[in-house]
Amino acid sequence: MGMLGLAPDEAGNGLTPGEHQQVIRSQYTAHGVLSGCEVLASSSALTVTVQPGAVVIPTSGTGAVMGPVPQTTITFDPAPATGSDYYDIYVACKNQAGAKAYVGISKNGDAPALSARLDRWVIPAGVTNARAGYSMSWKDYAVPVGSGQSRIIDWQDPTGYGGNATSKRFTQLTKTINLAQDRLLDFRISQTFSAKRGDPRGGFQWIMTDNRAGVLATPVLPYDEWSVPTGPMIGGTYQTSFITSLAAGQHTLTWERQQVVGGTAVHAGGQAPADNGYVLRPLNRLEVFDLGIHR
């Protein structure tokens, strides 16, 4: 029996390509990106550029190959007149001697089964550049046996300092993720608000739901009164987190927010005025970290 890393013996006995693939596949609980492969959108054309990296790609039920991915620019079709199109951007490899990884796209359909998805990019009607579209943060990662994936969702509120915060319940963010196994996830919320000058302090409730598991958590985070009688407001930053497990498969996560008590609130994050110029305050932020397999 041959071993990976050892040359065949005098009689030529060693690992076959299929056995090499079996050893590679056995090291990972999920295939996908090892490093790099970021998808960068153009602000002047309907193109995205995949950065260099490396991937693990399955070849069969028991095998996989690994290798480098070259920098590649992908061009989308013109945006539709109505609705939207989406593109799965992926890396695949022909299962033959000397084959190299290549970057492909699948329009309005899933990436091929034996590939590593780098992203799903949505192009709404009428846009003329890829940056006017948006990513669905759908990226396959090569996950070593037992390990986590670090941060898999990172969203920051684009609302600038001083903008009014709605008091009604509304959807702040919706994200779709795909879990190769049952995973343990760490959800984190950070908010920076202030009550409008003269209004009392209050609080916002966050409602986090999963389309399969239902309501995950409903924490309430406070916001402070305007800190000083005159001058710029300095809102406090409050944070909360919770850990839960989600089953393998696709999940659509939704974050809603509603005011439950207090006066009118305004956004206090971003570039805020200070006595001597400006100070950068934390923006509202929603994050999810993959901690590893749930046993």
Helices (H) then strands (E): counts for the chain? 1, 24
Same domain flag for 153 and 294: yes
- Global pTM reads 0.57
- Please state, for a pLDDT cut of 70, what percent of the chain lies above it: 89
Cβ atoms of residues 134 and 45 within 8 Å:
no
Which of 100-109, 196-205, 277-286 has the least mean pLDDT?
277-286
Residue 146 pLDDT > 80, yes or no? no
DSSP state of 126: T
In a domain, 12, yes or no: no
In a domain, 251, yes or no: yes
Same domain flag for 163 and 294: yes
Same domain flag for 295 and 156: yes
The 10s digit of each residue's pLDDT in 17-47 is 888 888 888 888 778 899 999 999 999 999 9
Same domain flag for 169 and 276: yes
Domain stop point among 107, 142, 177: 142
Cα distance between residue 119 and residue 136, in whole Å:
7
List the one residue out of 86, 91, 75, 93 whose CA is nearest residue 36: 91
Q: Which residues contact 191 (CB under 8 A, 6 or more apart)?
A: 204, 221, 223, 237, 238, 239, 284
Radius of gyration of the chain (CA): 24
Q: For position 83, which CATH number holds? A: 2.60.40
In a domain, 256, yes or no: yes
Residue 81, CB-side half-sphere exposure with 13 Å CA sphere: 0
Cβ atoms of residues 185 and 245 within 8 Å:
yes
Q: Coil, strand or helix: which one is 294?
A: coil
The 10s digit of each residue's pLDDT in 85-123 is 999 999 988 766 656 778 999 999 888 888 899 999 999
In a domain, 236, yes or no: yes
Domain housing 52:
29-142
Same domain flag for 104 and 163: no
Cα distance between residue 53 and residue 69, in whole Å:
5
Same domain flag for 77 and 163: no
Domain stop point among 142, 168, 184: 142
